[in-house]
Amino acid sequence: MKTKRHGAVVGLIAAGALLLTACGSDNNAGSGAPTNTSGVPVECGGKTKLNAEGSSAQKNAIDTFIQAYQQRCPGSDLAYNASGSGTGVKNFNAGQVDFGGSDSALSKDKGEVEAAAKRCATNPAWHLPLVFGPVAIGYKLNGVQDLVLNGDVTAKIFNGGIKKWNDPAIKALNSSATLPDKDITVVYRSDESGTTDNFQKYLKIASKGAWTQGDGKQFKGGVGEGKEKSAGVAQAAGSVDGAITYVELSFAQENKLSLAKLDNGSGPVELTSESVGKAIDGAKIKGEGNDLVLDLDSIYGSTTAGAYPLLLATYEIVCSKGYDADTAKAIRAFLTVAATDGQAGLADAGYAPVPKSFQDKLLTAIKAIA
């Protein structure tokens, strides 16, 4: 597969970038063996073609991982269906795929944690955060290329409290811009999406009360038009003057959307390598042991100067135990490559590589999958 290139984000390897310094030898090393660029050994073999499904936000990252996996483990492959986080979780829990991809953790209240344990032969599922990506607030507004928003105003746009681009609240944040008397067209994800869940969690925290609709994988703002998947919302927003949406950076770039700066209380912050790195540095783990669930609330509500506070972490949801031996071996190999060699290509695909602070924990968890 060919990885989609996004030159504008090559610099995303920043403070939160993965610095692979581990020593070791490739178990497959020998005459003609693929180059081990990370120094981390990979035990290839087992099931020759894995199946996974879920988050469309991480599709380009998975493509990058597959390329690295095929190079490190010739003859091995993975098929990934970017059906959305909700479908990925459902089909993982139903045992239809080997692992799922989701932009938010399994919900205990919805029975997802229990269902996953049942699927994993009464063993818990683990969340492995292998893909970090900033969520852009992308818009198309002729004549306006430099727009500042904050949590309060963004919440009111996406729940219908602000309907015009020249609303006084938007003007107050953009005194030097000429804002048109034009209706705002909100475009949201109509399918269940971890991107939606993260965006609504950001609004709930960052708006300081302006967003009362709650969170979850279904959009609850009550306004706008819905489109399926990340590509769908980005394409729709890019075709309408006056449109605004929330979408992963790579999709916003593909559709030539303008990107809003976010003011978290310490001044407008542009989506850059430095601002994403500062945000990732603030992420904390709230899961236990090898279940690496992240606590992103401190990021969404951060007032750290220069930090871009709106990002998501995509999890690969795996069984801690319960696989047959061939499947477990192949999953360990794929995820090891994804956490090491595969990270090197993520900046070109619009993502931020896994932070160093997560590298050792990821590899420890991956090694323990059985």
Question: Can you give the pTM of this predicted structure?
Answer: 0.72
Of 137-146, 247-256, 293-302, highest mean pLDDT: 137-146
85 is in an annotated binding site: yes
Residue 157 tokens read as 């746009």
Q: What is the pLDDT of residues 313-355, one digit of tens each?
A: 899 999 999 999 999 999 999 999 999 999 988 887 878 787 6
Is 55 labelled a binding residue? yes
How much is the pLDDT for 19?
29
Q: Is the pLDDT of residue 32 over 60?
A: no
Q: What residue ranges define each of the domains in the chain, with the CATH number in brackets?
A: 7-131+314-368 (3.40.190.10), 134-276 (3.40.190.10)
The answer to whether 57 is a known ligand-binding residue is yes
31 contact partners, CB below 8 Å, separation of at least 6: none
328 or 29, greater pLDDT: 328
Each residue's pLDDT tens digit, 184-243:
999 999 998 888 998 999 999 999 999 999 999 899 999 999 999 999 999 999 999 999
Residue 320 is labelled as binding a ligand: no
Predicted local distance difference test score (pLDDT) of residue 282: 72
Q: Is 191 annotated as a binding residue?
A: no
291-306: average pLDDT: 89
Structure confidence at residue 357 (pLDDT): 66
pLDDT at residue 348 in the model: 79
Does the annotation list 195 as a binding residue?
Answer: yes
How many other C-beta atoms can be found within 10 angstroms of the C-beta atom of residue 186? Answer: 23
Task: State the chain's mean pLDDT as an integer.
Answer: 88
pLDDT band at 36 (very low <50, low <70, confident <90, very high): low
What pLDDT does 354 receive?
77
Q: Is 193 annotated as a binding residue?
A: yes
* pLDDT of the residue at 165: 98
Q: What is the mean pLDDT of residues 289-296?
A: 92
Structure token pair of residue 14: 């920043």
175 is in an annotated binding site: no
Tens of pLDDT, residues 149-181? 999 999 999 999 999 999 999 999 999 999 999
